[in-house]
Amino acid sequence: MTIRIALIGTGVMGMDHARLFAEELPGVELHTVCDMSAERAGQVAERFGIRQVLTDAVQAATHPDVDAVVIASPDDTHAPLTLAALQAGKHVLCEKPLSPSSEECRQVMDLESRLGHQRVQIGFMRRFDPSYTDMKATLQRNAVGRAIMFHCFHRNVTAPANFTGQMAISNSAPHEFDAARFMLDDEMAAISVFQPRAVDAGKTGAPVFMVLESRGGRLVNVEINNNAGYGYDVRAELVGERGSVFLRAPVHSELHADLRASERYAPDWRPRFAEAYRLQNLAWLRSIVSGKPSPIASNAWDAYCATRIAETGVQALASGTRQTIDLIDKPALYA
């Protein structure tokens, strides 16, 4: 079986997906590439030998000759394109977040529930990263006892222009929210958000520090610092009753020179999570072949929860007060 894919969006993430499907993953044909920039889409088509180039994303998402759709266009396009693709009977791999609006996430869950199957996988790829996988396996084999705290750090070299504290919560932090839910197997119940007074909160990339309380009584803290200056650095420590587990980023060599030893940081997320993206996309292809969603991957319910936490976090930042996270009951399809 060859799965015919339409790729929508050919920016940083879209290019990476195109390379993975064209060069690293079996049983797939990149059939259609779509970008609102015809020039960009054309360049990607030429590089990877893709036969159809479109600039209309809905046409790509619903095209009769494709089986599955990868959505890597900007956040606000994700839910409308996912709905269109689902209605046309396609499988969807949608970059995170499914939507910045939990109401739109609910629309996707409602449609999947009506159709009676889960066909949307969300690009929360950390669930497939070997360091997170190992941390979860350590917890599951009871090596550190019951989890009680989870510390998360997300640092970028420089923030994109106009990246506010609100965007740190709604665009960067959902990765941490999903990782915490996945690792702890627990829902988040409340969130408080702080910013260091030593930094102008209006400044691009001003750091945000969050404390989440889970329904099961655990604490999660999340630092989002998109202007960290020194490298792309994602860290986490899971603290259990009898021990703790740290993530280790893949390091393949260490430089010894000038009386010092040093390791390199990745400049951005692609090298750090290269294996996670590959395993995520492979799991998605396998779910299409088997007709069963990956048990590890994030689904529309997980996406809804991450977006609800982010929405509530934005309220907590604006109000300066702890906010309760209200979730709807989990729809039966995702039980």
Ligand X SMILES: NC(=O)c1ccc[n+]([C@@H]2O[C@H](COP(=O)([O-])OP(=O)(O)OC[C@H]3O[C@@H](n4cnc5c(N)ncnc54)[C@H](O)[C@@H]3O)[C@@H](O)[C@H]2O)c1
Contacting positions for ligand X (CB under 6 A) = 8-14, 34-37, 40, 57, 72-75, 77, 95-96, 123, 125, 171, 269
Nearer to ligand X, 34 or 83 (CB): 34
Nearer to ligand X, 40 or 218 (CB): 40
Nearer to ligand X, 72 or 108 (CB): 72
Helix (H) or strand (E) holding 148: strand 147-155
Residue 271, classified by CB atoms within 10 Å of its CB into exposed (0-12), middle (13-18) or buried (19+), is middle
Instruction: Tell how strand 3-8 and strand 68-71 pair up.
Output: parallel
The sign of the CA dihedral 269, 273, 278, 281 is negative
Least distance CB 13 / ligand X (angstroms): 4
Per the CB < 8 A criterion, the answer to whether 82 and 303 are in contact is no
Token pair belonging to 317: 């930042």
Nearer to ligand X, 37 or 324 (CB): 37
Taking CA atoms, 203 is separated from 55, 296, 306, in Å, by 35, 37, 25
Least distance CB 189 / ligand X (angstroms): 26
Nearer to ligand X, 171 or 214 (CB): 171
The number of CA neighbours under 13 Å toward the Cβ of 254 is 4
Nearer to ligand X, 54 or 206 (CB): 54
Nearer to ligand X, 125 or 147 (CB): 125
Nearer to ligand X, 61 or 144 (CB): 61
Return d(Cα 20, Cα 24) in angstroms, integer.
5
Q: How far does Cα 71 stand from its chain's mean position?
A: 12
Token pair belonging to 229: 């200056």
Return d(Cα 26, Cα 281) in angstroms, integer.
11
Taking CB atoms, the residue at the shortest distance from ligand X is 11
Token pair belonging to 335: 């039980």
Per the CB < 8 A criterion, the answer to whether 169 and 210 are in contact is yes
Token pair belonging to 197: 């007074």
Return d(Cα 126, Cα 150) in angstroms, integer.
15
